[in-house]
Structure 1
Amino acid sequence: MSLADEVAAAHAGHPNPAALVGEFRRTSVLVPVVNDSLMSAELSGIRWLYAFSNEQELARFAVSRGAGPETELPYVRAVGARLLDVVIPAIEGPAGVVLDSGSEQGMVFPPVSGIVPDSVAVDLAEPDEAGDRPGVPTAGGAA
């Protein structure tokens, strides 16, 4: 199945996580660029890179953020594996990818083992002196 099919299956309640991640790794996605940097946002201590499955999803996202319908958001094209294996480890702190942000078919690829390299996976990180794992909410924290 294609990435779009795997995402649709996951949203329909029939996820196949290994196939979903595999398809993301093989698929070329669009990553918006702002001020010579890949567009991202931070939430709960995790940096999330934005990636889009096609130009229509990217344009919808840009309009939802206040851009005019004819405004083009610059982007680079990258294979999902390069984002997960090269870009994510180069970011200081925990980072993941959100695909088609704000869409009904949006999907997140969090910084956990099996998605990102083990060296940057938050579920494998060593606890700090307080016993907390970086980027992983504590029992009282919000996810």
Structure 2
Amino acid sequence: MSAVSGGIRWLYAFTDEESLGRFAEARGESGREWPYLSLLGARLVDAVVPEVDGPAGIAVNVADEDGAMLFPPVAGIVPDGCAVDLRGGGNGEAA
């Protein structure tokens, strides 16, 4: 699941089922089943982000007021070939 904001695709990630549940509740969709995959954050960054068409970052626990985190598509966070702040990163744009 993801959303686009500011030209960046943000992939939603959750640290536990409770965080996913709060997200579902915030969307008014807590009554349905939410299938999900469990994987390491490093795999999400190293394997999934490069497959996205255009710049992508990770939004963690987005429904949690105190625990939400954003990992933008910049060098040091995503693979260099996907970083929008490096020449040729992301979809070929330089920052």
Bin for the TM-score computed over the shorter chain: 0.7 to 0.9
Question: Do the aligned partners of 1:100 and 1:106 also contact (CA within 8 Å) in 2?
Answer: yes
Q: Per-residue displacement from partner, 1:82-109 (whole Å, max 9, x unpaired)?
A: 1111100011100000000121110001
Shift in Å at residue 49 of structure 1? 0.3
Larger Rg: 1
TM-score by length of 1: 0.60
Select 1:107's aligned residue among 35, 45, 69. Answer: 69
Tell me the residue number matched to 1:50.
12
Question: Do the aligned partners of 1:59 and 1:72 also contact (CA within 8 Å) in 2?
Answer: no
Q: Which runs of 4+ in 1 moved over 2 A?
A: none
Shift in Å at residue 125 of structure 1? 3.0
CA distance in structure 2 between the partners assigned to 1:55 and 1:47 by the alignment: 22
CA distance in structure 2 between the partners assigned to 1:72 and 1:54 by the alignment: 15
Q: Cα RMSD (Å) of the superposition?
A: 1.9
| SS at 2:58 equivalent | strand
Shift in Å at residue 67 of structure 1? 1.1
Aligned positions, number: 92
CA distance in structure 2 between the partners assigned to 1:97 and 1:125 by the alignment: 21
Unaligned runs of 5+ in 1: 1-38, 128-132, 137-143
1:95 aligns with 2:56: yes
